[in-house]
A and B are shown apart, each in its own frame.
Chain A
Amino acid sequence: MSMKVSTRQVDGVTILDLSGRITLGEGSVTLRDAVRDVLAKGSRKILLNLGDISYIDSSGIGEMVSAFTSVKNAGGELKLLNLTKKVHDLLQITKLYTVFDVKDDEAKAISSFA
């Protein structure tokens, strides 16, 4: 199963609802293109909803880090929402849990953006 993305706006925050797998190839490219697209459209407050992501490999992790850096370099913020246990564990193992701002409540996540 490849990855799917749908985008919505809530109170000035762009939420990317992701589902499927973020892996080498299609999934990683889809994420990269989606983040690039919302940045190009002026979004600077970006929330990645990973609640329906079933699997991420090292390429997917790398793509999330690259997205984080791209948004930061553009003067914005990228946060993560609704990690599954598997993704949570992966971010812990790779010490990225402290790099990303991770939220588990959408309303609180939205209000946390400056």
Chain B
Amino acid sequence: MIRLPDSTTSRASLTLPSSLESVNTVEKTAEEFATRAGFDEDTVPNIVMAVREAAVNAIMHAHGYDPAKQFTAAFESNSDALVVRITDQGPGLNPDAIPDPLAPENILRGSGRGIFLIKAFMDEVHFRQLHPGTELTLIKHRAPAQPAA
């Protein structure tokens, strides 16, 4: 059961350099938003991991740890959902070109599971090409409010 302690909209936007510290900052913010949105103790870590993977994707795959390139993590919690947008300045990401990490020929690869985990843990994942850059939108819906007894 998801609690809905706070149905008002809250927002935060972080613009950060491409570093592991930034990933940790985004992860911490995701935990705060998911907890405040009332997701249960099993769901919060999944949301946090998905957001972390999206941030890692930005700093590592899109920016190659280039400290001159910044990425943005925008959080919005409203009565319907928690929405997180990670925007990078990379060359663009074609999600259809990512090999299936569950395929037998890929199962023993040492990388390539980040986007898969994001999709596994969020309700909706959208990719938007910005030319240059990619905006990755992660959405986790809150359960509908229960009618009053």
Residue of A nearest to B21 (CB): A25
| A107 interface hit (Cβ, 8 Å) | no
Residue of A nearest to B19 (CB): A25
Residue of A nearest to B113 (CB): A58
Q: CB-defined interface of A69-82 with B at 8 Å, one 1/0 digit per residue? A: 10000000000000
Q: CA–CA, A68 to B112, complex, Å?
A: 17
Q: CA–CA, A24 to B56, complex, Å?
A: 8
Q: CA–CA, A14 to B113, complex, Å?
A: 28
| A66 interface hit (Cβ, 8 Å) | yes
Given A57-B53, A59-B56, A66:B116 Cβ within 8 A = no
User: Would you list which residues of chain A between 10 and 61 have a CB under 8 Å from chain B?
Assistant: 23-25, 55, 57-59, 61
Q: CB-defined interface of B113-127 with A at 8 Å, one 1/0 digit per residue? A: 110110010000000
Main secondary structure of the interface of A (DSSP, over half): helix
Given A24-B60, A59-B56, A94:B102 Cβ within 8 A = yes
Main secondary structure of the interface of B (DSSP, over half): helix
Q: Give the chain A neighbours of B117 by CB distance below 8 A.
A: 58, 90, 93-94
* Contact in complex: B53, A94 (CB < 8 Å): no
Which of B49, B101, B110 contacts A94, CB < 8 Å?
A: B101
Q: CA–CA, A69 to B106, complex, Å?
A: 13
Q: CB-defined interface of B57-100 with A at 8 Å, one 1/0 digit per residue? A: 00010000000000000000000000000000000000000000
Which of A62, A90, A95, A99 contacts B110, CB < 8 Å?
A: A62
Residue of A nearest to B116 (CB): A94
Given A94-B101, A94-B102, A61:B60 Cβ within 8 A = no
Residue of A nearest to B20 (CB): A25
| B109 interface hit (Cβ, 8 Å) | yes
Q: CA–CA, A59 to B52, complex, Å?
A: 11
Q: CA–CA, A79 to B101, complex, Å?
A: 21
List 3 tightest A-B contacts by C-beta distance, closest first.
Answer: A66-B110, A58-B113, A62-B110
Residues of B within 8 A of A (CB): 20, 23, 45, 49, 52-53, 56, 60, 101-102, 107-114, 116-117, 120
